[in-house]
Structure 1
Amino acid sequence: MKKLMIFTCIILVHTLSAWTQTSIIIKLGATPRSGSFKHYMIVNRNNPREEFKFSTLQVKPQFYAGVSARLQMRTPFFLEAGMTYTEKTSLYQVNYRMPTETNPAEMVMSEKEKILLLPVNIGVSLGKIDITSGLSAMKTLTKAKELTHLQGFHQDDNAIRVGWQMGARYAIGRTMLGIEYQGTLNREGQGMYVNKQSLEQNNVPGNFVFSVQFGF
């Protein structure tokens, strides 16, 4: 019984110690519009009447809101984990080789996603500057896609994707100004098909996120 009480006390001490070294961070961020993609592909080569050129036109500005917990490790290192919500709108361009009434020469189709990110970072504090790097899991909660109007379009079920991020932030009191690059291990168009032809392109999405963060 005595050993159990000692063990319980040790666990409580470690838990309280960890809690006192934990802080909460609220994050609000935005990323600029990205465009001028040079990659495209030819779809339906075996059917000239349905053949078209497919490309990503642009990704509209995104806004982010999130919360994370920071656990101070041995100075100057820390561990940070949390969740972030964002909405992403991508525009795709479709150019038909032989336009018709139902398939005009050029069409712009949108894809709107509501995404939840679960980032885990390890960081180092250098005075007022924090440098972080880590991995994140990304899950699309809902998706509205105009590409479904393309004959023969199919998309795989929304699976959890893996991404990575690296950034820095500067502290002004409890407020922090940050910049972070977010990348993904999935290519643009991965998991989308027209008549069983993959719409996967050569470009790998990535963007800079500018943020204001508040520590508590």
Structure 2
Amino acid sequence: MCGIIGIIARDTVASGLIEGLRRLEYRGYDSAGIATLVDGRIECRRAEGKLANLARRLDHQPVQGVIGIGHTRWATHGLPTETNAHPIATSRVAVVHNGIIENFQALRRELEGLGHVFRTDTDTEAVAILATHFLDQGLSPREAVAKTLARLDGAFALAFLFAGEHDLLIGARRGSPLAIGYGDGEMFLGSDALALAPLTRRITYL
């Protein structure tokens, strides 16, 4: 098991992402990370091991941004390393993912054949690079996600953060839970209501 958190807010979201991940520690994990937008660019901070390691990384390398996603990962494809920790990001999109993409090897071969370079051993990277491929074709983020989802086999929950999109997170699920929280000028995504409980009382499930 592993956990997803996403926040769109008025103020810097890094501390809220960490708090949400703390409330998901019970699900089990071996690495953790967050991604935010800073001046429209995706900034990631990841760490192997416990969430305290990520918190220390953020103490030394703080990150700003009023929109972001976070993840605690339990390794299924790829070793539990910082490189394989989520979020998995390209220059255009960052993705966090619970579940298994059953056809990721076929997608990876297809995308490598088109010239895309993979840097991790995760099935999630196939999602990020496939979405980037569609964005590069001129599709909007929503269109790119829709086309990406249509190519995926398996059960999963996903959250997408896009470069240059300060008010857009996209969540999607097939078989794995994903909750949406509503605040005063804020929006939240989470693997379950427990992650969102400190942030809002208005929660629904996708």
Query: TM-score of the superposition, structure 2-length normalised?
Result: 0.25
Which structure is higher in helix share? Answer: 2
Query: TM-score of the superposition, structure 1-length normalised?
Result: 0.25
User: Which gives a bigger RCO, structure 1 or 2 (Cα 8 Å, sep 6+)?
Assistant: 2
Which structure is higher in strand share? Answer: 1
Larger Rg: 1
